[in-house]
A and B are shown apart, each in its own frame.
Chain A
Amino acid sequence: DTGVSQNPRHKITKRGQNVTFRCDPISEHNRLYWYRQTLGQGPEFLTYFQNEAQLEKSRLLSDRFSAERPKGSFSTLEIQRTEQGDSAMYLCASSFAQGNSPLHFGNGTRLTVT
Chain B
Amino acid sequence: KNEVEQSPQNLTAQEGEFITINCSYSVGISALHWLQQHPGGGIVSLFMLSSGKKKHGRLIATINIQEKHSSLHITASHPRDSAVYICAVHNTDKLIFGTGTRLQVFP
B40-73 vs A, CB cutoff 8 Å, 1 = contact: the mask equals: 1111110010100000000000000000000000
Interface stretch, picked from A21-29, A61-69, A73-81, A104-112, is A104-112
Which residues, 81 to 98 on B, are CB-close (under 8 Å) to A?
Answer: 86, 88, 90, 93-98
A49 CA to B72 CA, complexed, in Å: 30
A110 CA to B4 CA, complexed, in Å: 24
A70-114 vs B, CB cutoff 8 Å, 1 = contact: the mask equals: 000000000000000000010101000001101111111010000
Q: How extensive is the interface on chain A, given as a class? A: 20 to 34
Beta-carbon contact of B93 and A41 below 8 Å: no
A32 CA to B98 CA, complexed, in Å: 20
| Interface residue tally for chain B (C-beta within 8 Å) | 24
Chain B residues near A99: list those with CB within 8 A. 30-31, 90, 93
18 more contacts with CB within 8 A, not counting A100-B50, A105-B35, are: A37-B41, A40-B99, A42-B86, A42-B97, A42-B99, A43-B86, A43-B88, A43-B95, A43-B97, A45-B94, A45-B96, A99-B31, A99-B90, A100-B31, A103-B95, A105-B42, A105-B44, A110-B41
